[in-house]
Structure 1
Amino acid sequence: MSALLTLEEAQARLLALAPQPALTRSGVAIAHGAFLAEDLLAMRTQPAADLSAMDGYAICGDGASGAKGTWTLVGESRAGLPFDGALKDGQCVRISTGAHVPPSGISVLIQENAHVDGDTISLAPDEQAPEDGRHIRKAGFDFTKGQTILGKGTRMGPAQIALALSAGHDTILHREKPYTSVLDSGSELTQFAADCQPHQIPASNGAMIAAMLQPFTGLVENLGPVPDDMDALAAALDKADGHILITSGGASVGDHDLMQAALKAWGAEIDFWKVGIKPGKPLMVATRGKGDERQVILGLPGNPVSSFVTAFLFALPLVKAAIGDPEPLPKPTYVKSAEALPAVGTRREFLRGVCDGATVKRAASQDSSALLALASSNCLIDRPAGSDAVAIGQLVPIFHLENG
């Protein structure tokens, strides 16, 4: 019997198959979550001119002739309405935050430190003149035209959207979100959760997986539930014409586990099957078609917790890689264990856990069908194969989850 693939081996092989949807351009304002397909260079300089950082008076020189610390008010510079002209020695203009500092303006005297007497502006008692450059945002201090402001692979969040717009971009280039199909199988499944008979189980895996992937993928079409029947599976698979197909259930080798056979009959080629993790050993990866028409198929276990864990470790990175995320795999953080943990056997274990920010403990149940315990968890505790027992207070790696 061949050795099981490690998590890293399986993830690397899957991500090497990630589809590459077409490149497209979208308006920056609606590009939240997209990954840049090219470096983004500034189309303008920000700020384009020296700007005031405070409300007050832009001053020139150390004061009027014979009246150090006193300036003559000659106008106003407002945000969007700059003063027309340059300042001469001993002159100043009223200025608001964000307004252009006129040529020859050397600093801004903030209004709290100014004494106003008609058109004469002087230092308030016990105040000193601001040093040169004080309260001025110099032209180009944020970025300059031609500068790379965001690198290829950057995910567009609120701050990145604001930066791209400020740099003069109306659109960005990114990959389209992959079209994804989800198919959960099993004769015990029913789509009618409110009218579930004793011999049935409400189908939940498809909706669970779709919700997990939704921020990173396009339309997620749920093709299930489908009974354990070759004809029914064939009919459902014929509807899966997108970039990615994710199946749940039927991937093992029991008498009624028909997914592998159905996929092969559909024209899929199995790339690998079985990974040395718990839960999630009967994970399967296959492809169908060639080149740009190739579909990637990810077969997840049917038990809901196993399906969730493998979707988190494999399906989520797959769709993130497809839209251009250069680092699609989840990243661990380390916290102290609030309880003793036993040694680990030959398969890497992912325990459902509850983290309070500083410590972590296991959820009440680790059974692969326990949805109540899963829904109360906010992380996975990573226990590599062969790990020694963990004492209370020892650091352990965890992966944070988003459960709603």
Structure 2
Amino acid sequence: MALLPVSEALRRILDSAATLPSESVGLLAARGRTLAEAITSKVDNPPFDASAMDGYAVRSEDVATVPVTLTVVGEAGAGRPFTDTLRKRQAVRIFTGGILPPGADAIVIQENTTASGSEVTVLETAQRDANVRTRGQDFAAGEVLVEPGRLLTARDVLISASAGYAELSVARKPVVAILSTGDELVAPGEPLGPGQISGSNAYGLSGVVEAAGGEARFLGIARDSLASLDEFISAAEDADVLVTSGGASVGDHDLVRPALEKAGAQLDFYKIAMRPGKPLFFGSRQISGRRQYCVGLPGNPVSAMICARVFLVPLIGRLLGRETPFEALDAVLTDSIPANGPREHYMRGELDVSSVPARVTAFKKQDSGLVKFLQRANCLVVIPADSPALDAGASVRVLKLDI
């Protein structure tokens, strides 16, 4: 049976996923969340004509010819307006952020004046609206400021507060349950017995989930038995996504797929034309009228993490209503690489974007058992299936390892 191409596997995953319901969060909790409803300003900003400088509010016609001496009839500070109407040859002492008094239409900065008691002499002319931030100059009520689907930044939170919002509607974080499987696994930090290894995958995958905008929940380590798998899978019923690591191949102890099918999952595909990551599978199951997505990752740590970057990150993005593109860019090889086989190869490498075009070096050691080279990589060099050998200077696609 032909292996499923990576692009088709990703398409199937994304086509099956629907955006989760929204929830409201306070502004202090909004950064890093995905906006569900557009931020449309409730107010003009600034909400009134305001002084942009310290100085004097005047009528521009009074200062068309200078020098001219005006009578200071009051003071306006931020939050302390002067409410009387300014009359001919009058001025109001004003500070940055103060409301422009009625009758005034310009601000003369204090550096262009000489004050003496209740009078001020203006030394430079000021045109209408000089040093004035007019109402709605920044943005107006009804203006759409931030579109849905955006990953909210501190800047977005700032403008939301300025636009009159105390809370924002954001996509609910998908809960991603992570299950490690294997008799050989022990918790990190525990002594290793004969044939045992540290169960590291769940910790790396949790970081991927959180970085992508999800909520990671580690279920634990299931042993290689249907009874153990059944117990852990039943504990994940409230999750939006169930990610398993290990037990996805065809050995006598690879029982994850049968256990999931027993729990009601319908598999969409199994095995893809990718290396590392061939034994990946994907499906879903209905739980109380709600769909749970099931992603089966290889047990190999490098394979699991690379597959998570290629498939799980976009899935989480789709559940959040945020388009998560493949984010591939073009770069030129600094060294040659050998011909590829029938599976698309995701080679760990080092990307240098300081030059134009960007340059990338694929590591010589690509064994999927070498975690150190995954940690040192900042990108994946994507080599198509059946690609011929590529010389230094050849252009390749590169996927940033932003996990």
* Aligned twin of 2:71: 72
The one-letter code sitting in structure 1 at the alignment partner of 2:382 is: D
The CA distance in 1 between the partners of 2:6 and 2:97, in whole Å, is 53
Give, in whole Å, the separation in 2 of the partners of 1:60 and 1:399: 60
Question: Offset of 1:365 from its aligned partner?
Answer: 2.9
- Equivalent of 1:310 in 307, 310, 317: 307
Partner of 1:16: 15
Letter in 2 for 1:400: K
Structure 1 pair 121–382 and aligned structure 2 pair: CA distance change class (3 A): farther
**Counterpart secondary structure, 1:294:** strand
* SS of match in other structure, 1:154: coil
2:244 counterpart residue number = 247
Contact 2:33/2:152, CA 8 A, preserved across alignment:
yes
Deviation at 1:156, TM superposition (A): 2.0
The answer to whether residue 345 in structure 2 is matched with residue 349 in structure 1 is: yes
Asked whether the 8 Å contact 1:34–1:174 carries over to 2, the reply is: yes
Return the alpha-carbon distance in structure 2 between the equivalents of residues 66 and 20 of structure 1: 64
Q: Number of paired residues?
A: 398
What is the distance in 1 between the residues matched to 2:325 and 2:27?
A: 26
Identity of aligned pairs, percent?
34
| CA deviation after TM superposition for structure 1 residue 10, in Å | 1.3
Q: Deviations over 1:265-310 (max 9, x none)?
A: 2221111112222211211001112684221100011111110011
Q: Deviations over 1:359-392 (max 9, x none)?
A: 3322463221211111112222222334455444
Q: Distance in 1 between matches of 2:160 and 2:364?
A: 46
Residue identity opposite 1:110 in structure 2: I
Query: Contact conserved, 1:19 with 1:296, CA < 8 A, in 2?
Result: no
**Counterpart contact for 2:63–2:126, Cα < 8 Å:** no
1:175 to 167, 171, 183: 171
Determine the structure 1 residue equivalent to 2:151. 155
Q: Residue 196 of structure 1 corresponds to which residue in structure 2?
A: 192
Matches of 1:84 and 1:352, distance apart in 2: 68
Residue aligned with 2:221, SS: coil
TM-score of the two chains, using structure 2 as the length reference: 0.90
By how many angstroms is 1:393 displaced? 4.5
Aligned to 1:230: 226
- Partner SS, residue 9 of structure 1: helix
Q: 1:23 to 1:292 in 2, by over 3 A?
A: farther
CA-to-partner distance for each residue in 1:5-62, whole Å, 9 max, x for gaps? 2222211211222254433222232122222222222111111111222222222124
Question: Which whole-Å deviations, capped at 9, do the CAs of 1:225-269 have from their partners, x for residues lacking one?
Answer: 222222222222121112110011111122332222222222211
Structure 1: stretches of 5+ with no match in the other structure: none
Shift of 1:88: 2.8
List aligned pairs for 1:58-207, cutoff 5 A.
58-63=57-62, 68-124=67-123, 128-207=124-203
**Structure 1 pair 169–361 and aligned structure 2 pair: CA distance change class (3 A):** same
Q: CA deviation at 1:186?
A: 1.8
Report the Cα distance in structure 2 between the residues aligned to 1:394 and 1:142, rounded to whole angstroms: 47
**Distance in structure 2 (CA, Å) of the matches to 1:356 and 1:378:** 9
The Cα of 1:218 is off from its aligned counterpart by: 5.4
Counterparts of 2:259 and 2:290 in 1: how far apart (Å)?
20
Q: Compute the RMSD of aligned alpha carbons.
A: 2.5
Q: CA deviation at 1:64?
A: 6.0
Give the superposition deviation at 1:120: 3.3
Aligned to 1:277: 274
Q: 1:270 to 1:114 in 2, by over 3 A?
A: same
Distance change (3 Å), C-alpha of 1:112 and 1:288:
same
Show the counterpart of 2:384. Answer: 384
Is the CA contact 2:66–2:125 (under 8 Å) kept in the aligned structure 1? no
Structure 1 contact 115–123 (Cα < 8 Å) conserved: yes
Aligned to 1:375: 375
Q: Verify the 8 A CA contact 1:56 1:95 in the aligned structure 2.
A: yes
SS in 2 for 1:193: coil
Q: Is the 8 A contact 1:216 1:323 kept in 2?
A: no
SS at match of 1:264: helix
Task: Answer with 389-398 or 346-355: which moved more.
Answer: 389-398
Moved more, 271-280 or 68-77: 68-77
1:97 is paired with a residue whose SS is coil
Change (3 A) 1:59 1:338: farther
Find the residue that maps to 1:329 and give its secondary structure. Answer: coil
Paired amino acid for 1:316: V
